[in-house]
Amino acid sequence: MKLIAKIAISAAFMAMASTQAAMADLAPRQVWDDWKAYFTGLGYTITGAEQEADRALFLQDLTLTIALPDSAGTVAAQLGDVQFQAQSDGSVAVVFPAEIPVRFAMVGTDGAQLRGTIVNRQTLFSLIVSGTPEKMAYSYSAAQVQMALDSLIIDDLAMQTADTGLTLRDVSGRGTSEGRSLTQSQQQLQIAQLDYAIALSAPKGPDNSIDIRGTLQDVSQQSLTAMPQSADRTDFKGMLQAGLAIETQLRYGAGQSSWSFVEEGARVTAEGTSSMGQFSGALSSRQLAYSGSATQQYTVLTGTDLPLPVEFWSEKTGFEITIPTAVSMLPQPFSLGVTLQGVRVSEVLWAMLDPLKKLPRDPANLSVQLAGTARVDSNPWDPEAMLAQDSPFLPQTLDLRALTLSAAGATLNAQGGFSFDGDDLQTFPGMPRPEGMLNVTISGAQTLLETLVEIGLVPQEQAMGALMMLGIFTVPGTAEGQLTSQLEINAQGHVLANGQRLR
């Protein structure tokens, strides 16, 4: 039933999924009772009249309302008339209205008021529930699902929402849901095309607006969710301790997008394309992890203050991060990775910066791989801990497994590792004392600086200062134009570069 919760909030009832389980007779009342128990456990208030007929259950004026934490407002899905119809094969067909409004009213911490309506419209939507009362299976399909922002009012100012919304075309999926105290759900979702648009502007006053649009092809999503039913929904830490866990993977094919921002009449626009991408995330009581990547990206920027279009290409961009979340005196692993591969700009921009082609036009690359361990001294989900000056994370070790940067004919490579003494916050005031070593190799830096001075991008005095710093921290390497450095922090807190003490 986790899938249904998502649907009620967003009015996208397509998030319910199904697998073809062994068929058994499932009564409409059993399906609805299961849904009611799940929604009530999540904190929803359910209103509407129930009427049973032969092999069918009819719900009239069905509304699901939930109060947001900290008295921040309410969200109400007005489902209207819903039917649960028994089928000859023992399954139950659930029929929703073609149009479902979801109304929200919210109050920010600063007193700002936000209210509006999202309307969900469905075309040729089918939802079948099968299986047993203990393990229900869902299958669904729709020719089109549209979620449109019908109205948005901020502090009594009605915004122009235009065609803001989300449209899913050729939707299908399946999934299962089982368990009472801890409901476990899994789903698989396929969308042939996903279109999104955010177009907002104030009805009067300065020319300020935002317009973001895009399309993704061949979207697929898989997820596993464990949702505790008895935990306090306002206590996120308590929900995690009670078993809340989420894993999701999202993949998509070719995509294109456009952005337009106008402030006081000044406009900046961008258009982009990509060949494919992915995003994954996982949350549990132990850690938070997520990653994403996109390939063959192209972006062009134009604007009121830009003399000409600025174009960028990249072969691949990506990131990944893992953060421990369980409070423990024992070290827990964390990691961070960033990838920028094959980044290049248009020849027009190069011609402005370097008309005589003094600089190499090779694509730029960046790769960072960090790993380490940290102690989690306080609950990182506690809002007070998030705002506190002292971080809930106390580093124990940090390993720079790889750092590679190459651009304009110069390269930098580094790797090393450090440990941290949490009992010594005096040697380096305010932080645990590090101890370890970093090895760095730089190639082509001197030639690059000389060329930047020659073409007028860097003043001579700044280049001289940079060369002096290189002379302090580096020594000549084995190859021509190569510099190396061994940076060390020892047990006494001394900082050394190639054996020479700097601190």
Strand ranges, E, within 202-305: 209-228, 245-252, 255-263, 266-274, 276-283, 287-303
| 249 plus 374 within the same structural domain | yes
Beta-carbon contacts of residue 100 (< 8 Å; ≥ 6 apart): 11, 13, 77, 78, 79, 80, 119, 120, 121, 122
Using the predicted structure, report yes or no on whether residue 457 has a pLDDT greater than 70: yes
Q: Which residue has the higher pLDDT, 171 or 178?
A: 171
* Residue 154 pLDDT class (50, 70, 90 cuts): confident
pLDDT above 90: residue 59: yes
Contact 146, 165 (CB under 8 A): yes
Instruction: Quote the pLDDT of residue 141.
Output: 97
Domain assignment of residue 181, yes or no: no
Give the model confidence (pLDDT) of 74-98 as tens digits: 999 999 999 999 999 999 999 999 9
Last residue in a domain, options 155, 173, 191: 173
What's the full length of the chain, in residues?
503
Model confidence band, residue 385 (pLDDT cutoffs 50, 70, 90): low
Query: CA–CA separation, 45 vs 478, rounded Å?
Result: 73
Strongest mean pLDDT among 153-157, 284-288, 293-297, 489-493: 293-297
82 & 212 share domain: no
- What's the CA gap between 466 and 445, in Å, rounded? 10
Tokens representing 364 are: 């730029």
Is residue 179 a part of any domain in this protein?
no
Q: Is the domain of 480 the same as that of 375?
A: no
For residue 53, pLDDT over 60 is answered with: yes
| 269 occurs within a structural domain | yes
Local confidence band at 38 (pLDDT 50, 70, 90 cut-offs)? confident
User: pLDDT tier at 187 (50, 70, 90 boundaries)?
Assistant: very high
Q: Is residue 371 part of a domain?
A: yes
142 and 88 in a single domain? The answer is: yes
DSSP label at residue 502: -
CB 323 within 8 A of CB 289: yes
228 in the same domain as 342: yes
> Which pLDDT band, with edges at 50, 70 and 90, does 203 fall under?
low
- Looking only at the bridges linking them, the beta strands covering 266-274 and 276-283 are unpaired
Q: Same domain for 235 and 357?
A: yes
Predicted pLDDT of residue 20: 35
Same-domain check for residues 128 and 9 = yes
Mean pLDDT, rounded, for 196-206: 77
pLDDT at 260: 92
pLDDT given for residue 130 in this prediction: 95
Residues 157 and 305 in one domain: no
Q: What's the confidence (pLDDT) of residue 135?
A: 92
pLDDT tens, residue by residue, 407-456: 999 999 999 999 999 888 888 988 899 999 999 999 999 999 999 999 99
Predicted confidence band at 72 (pLDDT cuts at 50, 70, 90)?
Answer: confident
User: Over 80: is that where the pLDDT of 327 sits?
Assistant: yes
Query: Is 384 a residue whose pLDDT tops 80?
Result: no
Residue 189 lies inside a defined structural domain of this protein: no
- Residue 133 is encoded by which pair of tokens? 């009362």
Residues 81 and 18 in one domain: yes
pLDDT for 212 equals 94
* HSE-up of residue 148 (Cα within 13 Å, Cβ side): 14
Report the largest interatomic distance among the alpha carbons of the chain, rounded to a whole angstrom: 89
Number of structural domains in the chain: 3
What pLDDT is recorded for position 388?
Answer: 63
Distance CA 455, CA 359 (A): 9
Which two tokens mark 192?
Answer: 């042939």
Q: Under a CB-based contact definition with an 8 Å cutoff, are residues 260 and 267 in contact?
A: yes
Does the pLDDT value for residue 9 go beyond 70?
A: no
Strand ranges (E), 275-409:
276-283, 287-303, 310-324, 328-345, 364-376, 393-407
Are 142 and 118 found together in one domain? Answer: yes
Average of per-residue pLDDT across 153-167: 87
Print burial letters for 428-454: b (CB count within 10 Å at least 16), e (below 16). beeebbbbbebebbbbbbbbbbebbbe
Percent of the chain residues past pLDDT 90, beyond the cut = 62
Quote the percentage of the chain above a pLDDT of 70.
92
- 182 located within any domain: no
Structure confidence at residue 1 (pLDDT): 36
Beta 245-252 vs 209-228: how paired, if at all?
antiparallel
38, 5 contact by CB (below 8 A): yes
- The answer as to whether 180 is a domain residue is no
What is the domain extent for residue 318?
205-397
Q: Is the pLDDT of residue 308 over 90?
A: no
362 & 303 share domain: yes
pLDDT tens per residue across span 218-260? 999 999 999 887 777 767 778 888 888 999 999 999 999 999 9
C-alpha dihedral (103, 109, 110, 116), degrees to nearest 10: -10
Average pLDDT over residues 120-142: 95
pLDDT at position 204, please? Answer: 64
Structure tokens at 4: 């249904």
**Residue 190 falls within a domain, yes or no?**
no
pLDDT of residue 380: 81
For residue 158, what are the contacts with CB-CB under 8 A and spacing of at least 6?
A: 151, 152, 203
Burial group, residue 251, by CB count within 10 angstroms (0-12, 13-18, 19+): middle
Residue 374 sits in the same domain as residue 443: no
pLDDT of residue 19: 33
Mark which of 367, 397, 427 sits at the end of a domain: 397
Query: Which of 173, 190, 222 is the endpoint of a domain?
Result: 173
